[in-house]
Structure 1
Amino acid sequence: MEPHVTADLSPEGVATITFFHPAQNAMPSFLLRQLAETIQETGQNPATKVIILQSGGERTFCAGASFDELAAIQTEEEGLTFFSGFANVINACRTSPVIILGRVQGKAVGGGVGLAAATDYCFATQHAAIRLSELLIGIGPFVVGPAIEHKIGVSAFSQLTLNASTFYSATWAQNKGLYSEVFETTAELDTAISAFARALTAYHPAALQELKKVFWQGTEHWNTLLTERAAISGRLVLSDFTRAAIARMKAKN
């Protein structure tokens, strides 16, 4: 299957947004741009009452940013553009007027953890372990960090960031507040998220919109903050340390 982003709206007002890339749902810039635009457009549709954000495939929710595209960055401007991809998706989720439910069926790495954190209520399976591996290549989770910290707090975010080679279990992520509910199987996950979404469609839309603002209170400056964070990563990716780390990883693969 080719990389894609799709949006389907049910008669009840449940919009399901699906992103997919054959490389374990690693996200190149063009796909992140499509995803941000789709979230914005879907949220502004008066017929949309709730959004489910999910990825295609079974094994991995999102492997983060495209490694090949990361390795091709040559200037700070290119770096800023590249790292702004997840920033734009996070801001699209944050500013959407409707509640966004996350469906995390498998592992989430780097930017994938940021996507899960950008949803308002996240469902996962027991296979949905998480890892922030950015330090392994000499950068850090600067762009996705605010969303993750917003959900799990500074202490858990620090643990996740500094133990860059460690996968933390879905149970750990639930205990820290990233996941709201964790299920044994994908079938159980889908049953639960469908029922939850349908229940939300029966609530007063204005009340849900006001609650959304409450959930994200204090993040109004994130358009600027995440751009500043993207610039940090854009500089670091050009360093000799990171260039060498990327070269070693490419050779290994």
Structure 2
Amino acid sequence: MQDTKGSLTTVIENKIATVEFGHPASNSFPRSLLDKLTAEITALSSNDEVVVIVIKSSGTGAFCAGASFDELLAVSNAEEGLNFFSGFSHLINAMRTCSKLIIGRIHGKAVGGGVGIASACDYVFATENAAIKLSELAIGIGPFVIEPAVSRKIGTTAMTEMTLNPLKWKSATWAQQKGLYAEVFETIELLDHSVVQFSTKLASYNPQALQEMKKVIWEGTEDWETLLLERAAISGQLVLSDFTKSALEQFKKAK
């Protein structure tokens, strides 16, 4: 059942765990839903019945609009700011350290933290409608927490291009060319067919070999446990600034 706190379901079949999150507000993440997804990824990491994880979101609209705007507006001090922004740091670290390979199924647009989730996946399928945007500078903050994951996938130059032009969408084709998406499809039906085929084949391989490969893929990111929390603290301070409060109010009126 989906409510204002969102929904999270997991189906395990043929060694594949399909984790689906949803929220009425364009599949955005209140902190409670972020924590549930983080806990689920952590639990699946030690589940011997699972070899591969597929992450997807509900509906046919946006894949993920990022963090909850309402909760962002409610931040009133540095401690609350750190707590708010650390949600995505915990999720990205859970995906990074998960012993299972994670496939992203991106059916629609991804903004901010949604781009971070896609970047933290090990292999990503998307549709032509899955445009991406890093809109954080437009509201007075920045994509500090997700930047390491995004830059690792598409490079610093492409990340900078997105960040410094926060109102511009980048197409799914652009995202594929930069390395965020591995494959892009015209329709959701073609997307789902390929996700099933790929995940089934991957799940048939030696689980130990896949786990070792996961470690290799993420080599050099060991400092993210502290780095992403440090980045969360930066955003937590910025959200309290007069500039950001004013930008948020203008954004709220325009909604």
* TM-score normalised by the chain length of structure 1: 0.99
Deviation, 1:153, is: 0.6
Moved over 4 A (4+): none
2:201 match: 199
Query: Secondary structure of 2:87's partner?
Result: helix
2:10 match: 7
Q: Which runs of 5+ in 1 are unaligned?
A: none
Q: Distance in 2 between matches of 1:5 and 1:114?
A: 18
Per-residue CA shift, 1:186-228, capped at 9, x if unaligned? 0000000100000011111111111101111000110100000
Q: Distance in 1 between matches of 2:142 and 2:254?
A: 21
Per-residue CA shift, 1:58-107, capped at 9, x if unaligned? 11000011001000000100000000111111011100001000000000
1:230 aligns with 2:227: no
Cα RMSD after superposing both structures: 0.6
2:99 match: 97
1:135 match: 137
Q: Distance in 1 between matches of 2:44 and 2:8?
A: 12
1:214 match: 216
Contact 1:53–1:102, Cα closer than 8 Å, also in 2: yes
Per-residue CA shift, 1:19-55, capped at 9, x if unaligned? 1001000101000000100111112101001000000
- Letter of the 1:7 partner, please give it: T
Query: Secondary structure of 2:155's partner?
Result: helix
1:44 match: 46
- Letter of the 1:101 partner, please give it: I
2:24 match: 22
* TM-score normalised by the chain length of structure 2: 0.98
Contact 1:43–1:51, Cα closer than 8 Å, also in 2: no
Percent of aligned pairs with the same amino acid: 54
Q: Distance in 1 between matches of 2:95 and 2:74?
A: 28
Q: Which runs of 5+ in 2 are unaligned?
A: none
Per-residue CA shift, 1:82-134, capped at 9, x if unaligned? 00111111011100001000000000000000000000000000000000000
Query: Secondary structure of 1:116's partner?
Result: helix
1:33 match: 35
Which of residues 98, 110, 113 in structure 2 aligns to 1:111?
Answer: 113
- Letter of the 1:38 partner, please give it: E
Contact 1:93–1:119, Cα closer than 8 Å, also in 2: yes
Q: Distance in 2 between matches of 1:180 and 1:31?
A: 27
Q: How many residues align?
A: 252
Deviation, 1:139, is: 0.4
Q: Distance in 2 between matches of 1:64 and 1:201?
A: 29
1:177 match: 179
Deviation, 1:177, is: 0.2
